[in-house]
Structure 1
Amino acid sequence: MANIQYVTKEGLDKLRAELHELETFERPKISQQIAEARDKGDLSENAEYDAAKEAQGLLEVRIARLKENIGNSRIIDESKLDASKVSILSIVKIKNLANNQEMVYTLVPETEADLAKARISVNTPIAKGLLGKSVNDIADITLPNGMTLKFEILEISLS
């Protein structure tokens, strides 16, 4: 059964660009390395050949995963998103009620998460706790360590 994943158009374009890079440039480069190592003689004691074959195997696994991800991807129709409730692609301003610290996060598909840019995956405990909530709602979020935090939703907008 297909494991459907939702992505933005930019996220899908990024996956396709990576696949193109691997198939067009990396695969021929590794094939060349294997050919050069093969030309050096006895393959049973050729560490260069073994390393190149291992790199080829890892590359082929990565290519297969990318193809599967691309095939299972569905682009999110941003025009159908509702800014009154937290959903994927929402920009959410929240306040930690324990320390009154305010944070702003954008909830994105897992493949597009980047904590340095405050883009968190919808699969994280915080995002799961926020999904479906509205402004002024309190979200009780249980962290993996068992601790529960309370966040107030201050603002919701779409990117």
Structure 2
Amino acid sequence: MKKMAEEKTYPMTLEGKKKLEDELNTLKTSKRAEVIKRIKIARGFGDLSENSEYEAAKNEQSFVEGRIKTIEQMLNHAEIIDNGDIDQDEIAVGKTVTFKELPDEEPETYTIVGAAEADPFVGKISNDSPIAKGLVGHHLGEKVSIETPGGEMEVKILEVKQ
């Protein structure tokens, strides 16, 4: 008998799960209807083989349906992050860490989140990123070597917050 592959889980905070649920709701209730309406209007323009409005609307419909499936998959296999058992000064998914690259770079602060929530522009990095992988499990005050695509960097952990 063949062993079933283990389902991929998607670590996320409660806030991240809520954000995905809201996006899914918007896609299903308003965006889907909006795209269907655009397709109907574009059909009225005649020959579908040379109808760029129809083609664009169908492409958007494919994108919306694909995003709906992706979000549903993530939510069905969501693993809510619970750091209750982890030391206060230990870096883990869901925690915010401030570190500085040695010898004398400016401090940087990031919250380590699941890939579904990652948004580096607002300081949320994926637990799959090289920096997060290098930091998770380490503690406040430690010096850590992190292997990145740009080469190795050494950092000092300055602060860890829940």
Question: TM-score, normalization: structure 2?
Answer: 0.86
Partner of 2:75: 70
8 Å CA contact retained: 2:11, 2:113: no
Q: How far apart, CA to CA, are the structure 1 residues paired with 2:89 and 2:26?
A: 40
| CA displacement at 1:18 relative to structure 2 | 0.5
Match for residue 123 of structure 1 among 119, 128, 146: 128
Q: How far apart, CA to CA, are the structure 2 residues paired with 1:132 and 1:29?
A: 46
Partner of 2:111: 106
Aligned residues, how many?
157
Q: Deviations over 1:45-83 (max 9, x none)?
A: 322222211211121111111111111111112433332
Partner of 2:156: 152
Secondary structure of the 1:80 match is: coil
Partner of 2:99: 94
Gaps of 5+ in 1: none
Between the two proteins, what is the percent identity of the paired residues? 35
Structure 1 runs, 4 residues or longer, greater than 4 Å off = none
Partner of 1:57: 62
Gaps of 5+ in 2: 1-5
Q: Which amino acid aligns with 2:69?
A: A
8 Å CA contact retained: 1:98, 1:149: no
Partner of 2:26: 21
Partner of 1:40: 45
Q: How far apart, CA to CA, are the structure 2 residues paired with 1:39 and 1:23?
A: 24
Secondary structure of the 1:74 match is: strand
Structure 1 pair 106–43 and aligned structure 2 pair: CA distance change class (3 A):
closer
Q: How far apart, CA to CA, are the structure 2 residues paired with 1:47 and 1:70?
A: 35
Q: How far apart, CA to CA, are the structure 2 residues paired with 1:50 and 1:64?
A: 21
Q: Which amino acid aligns with 2:149?
A: P
| CA displacement at 1:100 relative to structure 2 | 4.7
8 Å CA contact retained: 1:125, 1:142: yes
Computed over aligned residues only, the root mean square deviation of the Cα atoms, in angstroms, reads 1.8
Which stretch has the larger CA shift, 5-14 or 79-88?
Answer: 79-88
Partner of 1:30: 35
Question: TM-score, normalization: structure 1?
Answer: 0.88
